[in-house]
Amino acid sequence: MALLILISVVFSVNFCSFVSAYDLDPLQDLCVAVQDSNQSAVFVNGRFCKDAKLANADDFYASGFNVSGMPTPTNLGFSVNALNVNRMPGLNTLGISMARADLEPFGLISPHIHPRATELILVLEGTIYVGFVVPDTRNPFKSRLFDKILHPGDAFVIPQSMVHIQYNLGTTNATHLSSFNSQNPGVHMISYQLFGSNPPILDDVLVKGFQLDKKVVDHLRAQFSSKS
């Protein structure tokens, strides 16, 4: 496990060196994010910057990735321990973040996208099925699936904004690290956003859009809107 974590760190560094970051290039050497402005703060890339003279090593440090994160409020069986600009202020404007995902046996990270980042997955433990779909340029009603079964030490990259999933195929826990070329990649959980929106999307839109019976839509809305 220790060796794989070391490999993942090296992999992340190399990943950032050859991927053109989606986030804007830094305008200054340091832009440690602060929540509130003051007389010495400069507003850069959506966050106020701490006076560089006041920055310290703790702004560029985080720990706690030897354990899983808090379970998500779903019955899907996964948890995420994220490291982004909200947790490490020194990431501000650097165009990089990461996350640890832990999946219970047969746990699923359901279809989702990261609107601002490409994701590079490195499996540390277990057997994980990953895949993303790309629209058919000749027919927008069809798509092509790119999928793979990953084992410890395997890596897989998911292009920015592509719908993708991760699924634990095994009977034991699985863990992977993800690197993103954005300080705040964002996540859109598709089924939850469509069937759990507030206020709800019109029934007829979901019935027709997904070719479902009204009772099925009602059932799905009850399932997804009850999560928080």
Q: Which residues are annotated as a binding site for oxalate?
A: 114, 119
Tokens 């992977």 -> residue: 176
What is the rounded (10 degree) CA torsion for 120, 190, 88, 44?
Answer: 100
3-state class of 178 per DSSP?
A: strand
Q: How many CA atoms lie within 13 A of 32 on its CB side?
A: 15
Distance between CA 122 and CA 157 in Å, rounded? Answer: 9
Q: Pairing between strand 108-113 and 47-49?
A: unpaired
- Contact call for residues 184 and 85 (beta carbons, < 8 A): yes
Q: Which residues are annotated as a binding site for Mn(2+)?
A: 112, 114, 119, 164
Distance between CA 173 and CA 124 in Å, rounded? Answer: 11
Structure tokens at 174: 């699985």
Q: Which residues are annotated as a binding site?
A: 112, 114, 119, 164
Structure tokens at 63: 């720990």
- Contact call for residues 191 and 226 (beta carbons, < 8 A): no
Distance between CA 159 and CA 161 in Å, rounded? Answer: 6
Closest residue by Cα to residue 160 from 134, 194, 130: 134
Q: What is the largest CA-CA distance in the chain?
A: 62
